[in-house]
C-alpha cells in the first residue's frame, strides 16, 4: 500500500524547500525566518492580545494557525513554521510552565531522580499537546500550495536546561551541575525527553508537517565528549526513529553555536540539513558543512534591526557563499521584537534578486 508520507508526489516535489532538503542546488535559495511569527509584527501582537497571553495563543489552534499564516501573507516566505514553543513538551510531561512578561519562561525545577520519576510517561503527552496537532491540521489545509509546513521540537539537552533551572540561564550552569553530580538522574531526564520528542514529532508529521526541525539552542555550551553524548547522540536517536516511522520526512538539526561541532553533524545524526548560527562565517560553513549536504542560515538577526546597505551586503555574502550547493536562506537565530518589518522585506528582495 502506498504511504502518503513517503510518496514523492509531484506537487510536493516542486516545493523549493523540499528540493533543497533533497540536496538540489537552486538558482535562488528558498527562504524563511526563525520566529517569523513574532512580536516585531503588529498583526502578531494584535492576535496575541486577542488570545490573552502567549501560552493561550499556543494552545488555541485557530489563533496559532492565524499567526503562523501572517508572515506568509505579508512576505510570501517559502516555509511556514508551526506556531508553538519548545517548552510545551515539559508542560505535557507534567512540569509547571508560565511566562513572565518581559523576562521569559519559568518552570518548576527538576534536580534529582525523584523529580524525573514524578514526570508523566512520554506516552501521556498527547492530551496536553492535542491542540498543537490541530493547529498543524488547519495549516496543512490553509497554507498556499507552494509553502512548506515545518514542525519542530526542542532538542533534549536544550529542553532539559529549562526543566532543571526552571528558566533560561546564560551558561546553563544548573544543567551542567546536574549532569556532573547526578548523572543517572540527568540521563533519565534526557531519555524521557527524547522519547517524548519522538512521539511529539511523529504526531506533527501525521497531522501534516512536511519537515521537522530540532532546536538545540544551547548545544554550544556542551564541549568535547559532552557534545557527542548530549547534543549529537540524542539528535541521532530522534532522527533515526522518525525516519524509521516516517521514511522520506526531511529533518533539519540546529545545534546552535556548535562551532567545530557542526563538521560532520549531518552525516553523524542523519539530518538532511544543518542549520547554522552566525558565529561561523558562511565561507567556512560552505567549505566544512555544506560539503555534506543542505545547510540553512545564517544572517545575523541584528540586521533586521539595523537595516540599510550593511543588511544588503551581508545578505548577498550569505547567498554568494552558499550558492554552489543546497541552501535554505534564514537568520542565524530568531528575529527579535525590535526588528523593523521593512528590513525583512529588504532581505527577501535582496535574496530573490541576487545573481551570482
Site residues for ligand CP3 per CB under 6 A: 34-39, 48, 54, 81, 83-87, 104-105, 152, 154, 168, 215, 217, 334
Task: Tell the smallest beta-carbon distance from residue 136 to ligand CP3 (Å).
Answer: 12
Nearest CB to ligand CP3, comparing residues 218 and 354:
218
Q: What's the burial of 29, exposed, middle or buried (CB within 10 Å: 0-12/13-18/19+)?
A: buried
Q: How far is the CB of 124 from ligand CP3 (least distance, A)?
A: 22
Three cell numbers, residue 117? 520519576
Could you confirm whether 162 is annotated as catalytic? yes
Nearer to ligand CP3, 152 or 265 (CB): 152
Q: Which is nearer to ligand CP3, 105 or 325 (CB)?
A: 105
211 - beta bridge partners?
Answer: 150
Q: Where are the alpha helices (DSSP H) in 166-232?
A: 173-181, 183-207, 224-227
Q: Would you say 54 or 284 has its CB closer to ligand CP3?
A: 54
For the bound state, the minimum distance from the C-beta of residue 267 to ligand CP3, rounded and expressed in Å, comes to 24
Active site residue 39: yes
Least distance to ligand CP3, CB of residue 161, Å: 9
Question: Which candidate in 40, 162, 200, 262 is catalytic?
Answer: 162
Taking the complex as a whole, the smallest distance from the CB of residue 50 to ligand CP3 amounts, in Å, to 12
- Among this protein's residues, is 352 annotated catalytic? no
236 belongs to the catalytic site: no
Strand-strand pairing, 294-299 and 97-100:
unpaired
Residue whose CB is less far from ligand CP3, 39 or 323: 39
**192 is a catalytic site residue:** no
Give the span between the Cα atoms of 184 and 239, in whole angstroms: 24
List helix spans (H) across the chain: 10-13, 16-21, 42-51, 54-58, 61-75, 88-92, 113-117, 126-142, 156-165, 173-181, 183-207, 224-227, 233-245, 265-269, 282-288, 303-306, 308-322, 341-353
CB distance 177 to 170 below 8 Å: no
Catalytically annotated residues: 35, 39, 48, 85, 162
Amino acid at each position: 500500500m502506498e504511504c502518503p508520507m513517503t510518496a514523492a508526489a509531484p506537487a510536493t516535489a516542486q516545493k523549493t524547500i523540499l528540493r533543497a532538503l533533497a540536496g538540489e542546488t537552486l538558482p535562488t535559495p528558498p527562504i524563511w525566518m526563525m520566529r517569523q511569527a513574532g512580536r516585531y509584527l503588529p498583526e502578531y501582537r494584535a492576535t496575541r492580545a486577542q488570545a490573552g497571553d502567549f501560552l493561550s495563543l499556543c494552545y488555541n489552534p485557530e489563533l496559532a494557525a492565524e499567526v503562523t499564516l501572517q508572515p506568509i501573507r505579508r512576505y510570501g516566505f517559502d516555509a511556514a513554521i508551526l506556531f508553538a514553543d519548545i517548552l510545551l513538551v515539559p508542560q505535557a510531561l507534567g512540569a509547571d510552565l508560565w511566562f513572565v512578561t518581559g523576562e521569559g519562561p519559568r518552570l518548576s525545577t527538576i534536580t534529582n531522580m525523584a523529580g524525573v520519576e514524578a514526570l508523566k510517561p512520554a506516552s501521556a503527552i498527547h492530551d496536553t499537546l492535542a491542540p498543537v496537532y490541530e493547529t498543524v491540521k488547519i495549516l496543512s489545509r490553509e497554507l498556499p500550495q507552494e509553502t512548506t509546513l515545518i514542525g519542530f521540537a526542542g532538542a533534549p539537552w536544550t529542553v532539559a536546561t529549562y526543566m532543571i533551572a526552571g528558566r533560561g540561564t546564560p551558561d546553563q550552569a544548573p544543567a551542567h551541575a546536574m549532569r556532573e553530580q547526578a548523572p543517572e538522574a540527568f540521563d533519565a531526564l534526557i531519555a524521557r525527553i527524547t522519547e517524548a520528542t519522538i512521539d511529539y514529532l511523529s504526531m506533527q508529521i501525521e497531522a501534516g508537517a512536511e519537515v521537522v526541525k530540532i532546536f538545540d539552542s544551547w548545544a554550544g555550551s556542551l564541549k568535547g565528549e559532552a557534545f557527542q553524548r548530549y547534543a549529537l547522540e540524542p539528535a541521532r536517536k530522534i532522527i533515526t526513529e522518525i525516519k524509521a516511522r516516517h521514511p522520506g520526512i526531511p529533518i533539519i538539526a540546529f545545534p546552535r553555536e556548535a562551532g567545530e561541532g557542526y563538521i560532520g553533524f549531518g552525516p553523524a545524526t542523519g539530518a538532511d540539513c544543518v542549520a547554522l548560527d552566525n558565529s561561523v562565517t558562511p565561507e567556512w560553513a560552505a567549505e566544512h558543512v555544506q560539503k555534506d549536504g543542505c545547510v540553512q542560515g545564517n544572517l545575523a538577526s541584528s540586521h533586521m534591526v539595523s537595516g540599510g546597505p550593511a543588511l544588503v551586503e551581508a545578505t548577498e555574502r550569505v547567498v554568494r557563499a552558499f550558492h554552489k550547493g543546497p541552501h535554505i536562506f534564514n537568520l542565524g537565530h530568531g528575529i527579535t521584537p525590535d526588528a523593523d518589518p521593512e528590513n525583512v522585506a529588504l532581505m527577501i528582495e535582496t535574496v530573490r534578486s541576487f545573481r551570482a
